Structures are given as C-alpha cells and as structure tokens.
Amino acid sequence: MAGSVTRLRWASGIMVALGAGHLALIGTLAWTDFAGWVDRGVWAAVPLLDETRNGLAFWAGPGSFGVPLMLLGCLTWHLAGRGTPPPAWLGWAVAAWCAVGGLLLVPSPFVAGVVAGALIVAAARDVTPQPGPPRA
C-alpha cells in the first residue's frame, strides 16, 4: 500500500506541475491579451470563433486542459491519502492523451504526463479490491 501511495503522490505532483507550468507560461506570454480582456470587460471578451491571438490566448490559457489537469492531480493526491487509487482506465487515458500530445508537439513536457498515467495504472494494480456489497 505504501508503494502505491508514493506512486500516486508522484503522479499527482507531476499533473499539478504540468498544469501550473502551462498556465504560468501562457500567462507570461499572453499577459497583454489577458489585460485586454479586463479593459474590454470580462463578459464575452473572447468570441467563440475568434481565430486571432486573443482566441489563441484563451484556448491556450484558461480554456486549456491546464486547470482540469491540476484538479485531477489534486484529486489523485486526495485519493492517495485515503488509500484509494483512481481506476486504472484513468491512468491509461492520461498516458494516451499525453503520448499523442507528445508525438504532435516535440519537444514538450507531455512525456511527464505519460509517466504520471503509468504511475496511476501501477498504483491501481497494486491495490487488491475490497469485497463490498454487490452492484445492482
């Protein structure tokens, strides 16, 4: 059990670091675009089909997968503390998503996401299922 908790803590740290790093980088690179949203009024500052730098800043920043990846990392950390790993399919999904991203965007830190996914899969396989009430 201790090994799976350590694996999950590492996986969660990697996911939080990837999400936070992504948001910090885009925040630095697109700071003027974000400031423009405040100047224009935040409501509808980015049209849905905006293909300009303004739209790119949104989809690379707050509209990206950075925030959900950080939330997934925090959830994984929380579950590790309870001794309950996320299901293995989630690890496979994170690993596959990051592998495709890493193949499309070279060089990139997507490889670290593959490691995080593999750690989740390994931790999920370490834990023996506890008997519980039958599912309906």
Q: Which two tokens stand for residue 64?
A: 């990206």
Q: Is 13 helix (H, G, I), strand (E, B) or coil?
A: helix
Q: Which residue has the higher pLDDT, 131 or 30?
A: 30
- Record the pTM: 0.81
Structure confidence by residue, pLDDT tens digits, 89-117: 999 999 999 999 999 988 889 999 999 99
Query: CB of 119 within 8 A of CB of 91?
Result: yes
Query: CB of 113 within 8 A of CB of 14?
Result: yes
